[in-house]
Structure 1
Amino acid sequence: MSDMDLDLPICARQPEILERQAAPLSDRVWLWSPETSFNYTPKRAEKLKIVQSLIAGIENEDFDHETSDASSEKPPKTDSGIESMPSMDTLYWEVPKIEIGMTYFVPNKRGKWVKAKLVEIKNSQLYLVGLQSLERIVSDFLSLAHPEPVLGLVPVGSRVVAHQRGIKPTGEIKRNGRRNFQLGVVAELPSQLNGSRYLVIFDNGAWNYIESKLVHPGYYTSEKIWEVVPIQNRKMVQDFLNGHYEHVIEWKREDQIWVKTDSDEEYTECLILDIDANLLLVWFRKEGKTDWLYKGSPHILVKS
């Protein structure tokens, strides 16, 4: 038995923990004097549990401040694919180096996003070959995405390719049909409040909450990511990322609100059909259509 070991079964059988066992422990834990002993009785079982927990903590403590080579080395960072969970220091996905021979997610001539292998880089142009169709694809760095969803978090303001869900005239989300992947920008990270989904602002102006498995991070990065968004929606993305979208009212279903459309400077009366985290599903009576709006959208008239 080492100096730091305390035989608890012996404590249970004997009326007293001997000083030769308790003293070394006391010097390091409770600073007991050599004359102090710990009388064990059933009424003091709780104190004994405290001693046991202290011993467990001491066994993992590094009193000499020494670390082995194995413990001092950090685990190597790997490309955040779906194969392994990220460690704490790789919580956020990091854009890997673009290399010849690797597979990427790119749009083909028909605008459909497919997996393709990079075969050449020339004058900022990327030449790829589709994995299934074997078609030749010419792309650029703005339209290059990771071939698979990732487990590491994709930061707010990042370029992504995600599945945009269609909306029926009734406001229902279309569940069937082919996946419609579109370019967009991350506006909100997955959390308990939004059902562990990304909020994505698509280049066409649509807002959707998307499951992580349907989000491919893009390889293009910029502190002013809105500069690569189509001009008609550029200011919307810029204003949101700069914190200009603040909602001060908690809306409810069937609330009547006034919304200004892009094509009309006047406000039109709308009805809130549904609420999904920070998005409002709004029915435009005049146009006879539905759309998702962010709660803090400046297009919503807030009366003081």
Structure 2
Amino acid sequence: MSESSCESVSSINQILHKKTMLGNDSDSLGLIKQAVVVLTRLPEYKISALRPPTPQQFYSEDESLSSSDSDMQWEPEDDSSDSEFSLSSNKQNAVNPLKPDTERTPAAPTSSNANNEVVPIITSAFAHCSHETTNVRPDIPQEEVKVDMMVLARKRPMKWQRGKITEIITKGGRIKYRISFEEKGRNLVSGHHIAFDTTPKLAQLYVGARVVVRSRENKFRFCPGVLAELPSRKNRLRFLVFMDDHTPIYVGLPLLHLVCRPLEDVLEDIPDSPHKFFMKQYLNDWPYPHLTQYRVGQSFNVDLNGVQQRCEVQVVDCSLIKVVFQDNQQKEWLYRGSMRLEHMTKFLELKKKEESKKD
């Protein structure tokens, strides 16, 4: 018998001897347990989760997937989600491919320019959250307006200034406020021509609210406008305001001031103009505004002082584009649904013809 076999017999004898010893010390036969290590291969997705993150994974989903083209959105899981976009789940919780908002508009027409370049016109729901799409004035108590209160008051149609209420006058059932401006002068104005000097609460704001915006360049300059978008992921958590001169601007909450006693129809405070017609159309269409889709470097015509001028897109920022005019190199921010855009004008004309045919 080999040496290894002798060692095996010897170990067996030692084990049997130990079992006998255990049996003598207890009433039942003792069992010997041996530790066993079992190796199991982990699934690939668990192995990936244990790996160090790559630089791109350090960014949140909203940051890494954000795009300047706000017309692309995630397929919603359900309409009751707390965010504008939600991710549909599958076996590996992977995101669905991006789908254009044009699915919400059956047979949405397109527009083309002189070069036969087709430009899609998007009619899309701006958001899935009710608080992001609301255009109804919230039913909350109005803030008190009293004497010695600092406010922003209208001095000229596009120029509001900070001042103090020195007197409240009631004539013929109407309330007027006498304002003493900080930069000289006095004025007697109505309640829809004064705004609170304090920052409004988010619950007080809604699409269609009458607001006054402080200039970024000059903290003493204020201009009136109408709130057009509430903060959401789609506009990178900013407010879009259409100024009364048709200038669109994205601002943060600290630059906004709420008009104290707005008219029931805020459009009555805007002079008759193409902008007033545009605002009426915009508020009627909300939350399905018409937008054109452009890319950086694209050229087309824009109305500039009543004349069609050629311009080129420099920046696409959510619902806005920054263009530079070829003749004078003037730069301007435009809303992608503005009637100054040749494609939007053609689209509205086509839409009007189709509606007249149906009627």
Shorter-chain-normalised TM-score: which range?
Answer: 0.5 to 0.7
For the aligned residues, what is the CA RMSD? 3.1
Task: Tell me: CA distance 1:134–1:177, structure 2 relative to 1, closer, same or farther (3 Å).
Answer: closer
Task: Tell me: CA distance 1:284–1:217, structure 2 relative to 1, closer, same or farther (3 Å).
Answer: same
Q: Who is 2:208 aligned against?
A: 157
Report matched runs for 1:186-265 at 5 Å.
Answer: 186-232=227-273, 233-243=275-285, 245-249=289-293, 251-261=294-304, 263-264=306-307
Alignment match of 1:291 (pick from 332, 352, 358):
332
Secondary structure at 1:231 match in 2: coil
Distance 1:200 1:287 in 2: 27
- Asked if structure 2 preserves the Cα contact closer than 8 Å seen for 1:184 and 1:202, the reply is yes
Distance 1:202 1:105 in 2: 16
Distance 1:161 1:177 in 2: 14
Query: Residue 106 in 1 paired to residue 153 in 2?
Result: yes
- Asked if structure 1 preserves the Cα contact closer than 8 Å seen for 2:213 and 2:225, the reply is yes
| Structure of greater Rg | 2
Shift of 1:271: 0.3
Q: TM-score, normalised by structure 2?
A: 0.49
CA offsets per residue over residues 231-281 of structure 1, 9 Å max, x none?
A: 2221122122122841152x22112222234513xx432101112211011
Query: Residue 279 in 1 paired to residue 327 in 2?
Result: no
CA offsets per residue over residues 100-144 of structure 1, 9 Å max, x none?
A: 4443222458945114134222323211345x6796442222211
CA offsets per residue over residues 85-114 of structure 1, 9 Å max, x none?
A: xxxxx9887532433444322245894511
Distance 2:221 2:295 in 1: 30
- Asked if structure 2 preserves the Cα contact closer than 8 Å seen for 1:142 and 1:220, the reply is yes
Report matched runs for 1:17-96 at 5 Å.
Answer: 95-96=142-143
Shift of 1:147: 1.3
CA offsets per residue over residues 173-230 of structure 1, 9 Å max, x none?
A: xxx4445310111111122222322111111221111111010011233453112112
Q: TM-score, normalised by structure 1?
A: 0.57
Shift of 1:286: 3.0
Letter in 2 for 1:191: S
Distance 1:247 1:204 in 2: 20
Distance 1:113 1:128 in 2: 10
Work out the number of aligned pairs and report it: 201
Distance 1:288 1:129 in 2: 42
User: Does 184-193 or 134-143 show the bigger shift?
Assistant: 134-143
Task: Tell me: CA distance 1:197–1:187, structure 2 relative to 1, closer, same or farther (3 Å).
Answer: same
Q: Who is 1:119 aligned against?
A: 167
Letter in 2 for 1:246: H
Letter in 2 for 1:254: G
Question: Which of the two has greater helix per residue?
Answer: 2
CA offsets per residue over residues 143-171 of structure 1, 9 Å max, x none?
A: 11011112324111111110245xxxxxx
Query: Residue 139 in 1 paired to residue 202 in 2?
Result: no
Shift of 1:287: 4.5
Task: Tell me: CA distance 1:104–1:177, structure 2 relative to 1, closer, same or farther (3 Å).
Answer: closer
